[in-house]
Amino acid sequence: MTLPVFTQRLRRHPGQIKNILVNDTFLAGIGNAYADEILFAAGIYPYRRRGTLTSSEIASLYEAIHRVLNEARAVVAVRMGEDIHHKVRDFLQVHGKGGEPCPRCGSPVSQINANQRLTNFCRRCQI
């Protein structure tokens, strides 16, 4: 998917950016954990409303989706044999790391648990 197509598609979805990312009708296959990682990589606060994103933020988001999913695929492919029943997740930067130092700035990673869904992000790095 090209950036213009991605942007167009994003415009059809109202609401908070993280909700859009985990929505299968937007893009299939981005789970809760990867949505947190993508938003961290893009420097975007998970509760930002889609309508407030600038075109450069949308471009960062587009890039981050590719980068995070490609990295994840590579790690999981290499380590799949380690333990088939255990999800390989310790390489994640912020998801599941509430209270631990942000890998970018060192301030504690925030954690919000709402609607049975964990959201982790850095209040300093993600705006």
Cβ 72 to Zn ion, closest distance in Å? 20
Stretch that binds Zn ion, among 12-20, 37-45, 47-55, 117-125 (CB under 5 A): 117-125
Number of chain residues interacting with Zn ion (CB under 5 A): 6
Residue 68 or 125: the one with the smaller Cβ distance to Zn ion is: 125
- Residue where the block lists tokens 């990589």: 41
Work out whether 87 is an interface residue with Zn ion (CB under 5 A): no
DSSP letter at 102? P
Residue 10 or 102: the one with the smaller Cβ distance to Zn ion is: 102
| Residues pairing with 112 in the sheet | 119
Work out whether 124 is an interface residue with Zn ion (CB under 5 A): yes
Work out whether 105 is an interface residue with Zn ion (CB under 5 A): yes
Strands (E), 1-127: 110-114, 117-121
Taking CB under 5 A as the criterion, the residue among 39, 45, 102, 121 binding Zn ion is: 102
Other Cβ atoms within 10 Å of 67 Cβ, number: 14
Q: Which two tokens stand for residue 23?
A: 């929505």
Radius of gyration (Cα) for the chain, nearest Å? 14
Q: Which two tokens stand for residue 95?
A: 């998801």
Interacting residues with Zn ion (CB under 5 A): 102, 104-105, 122, 124-125
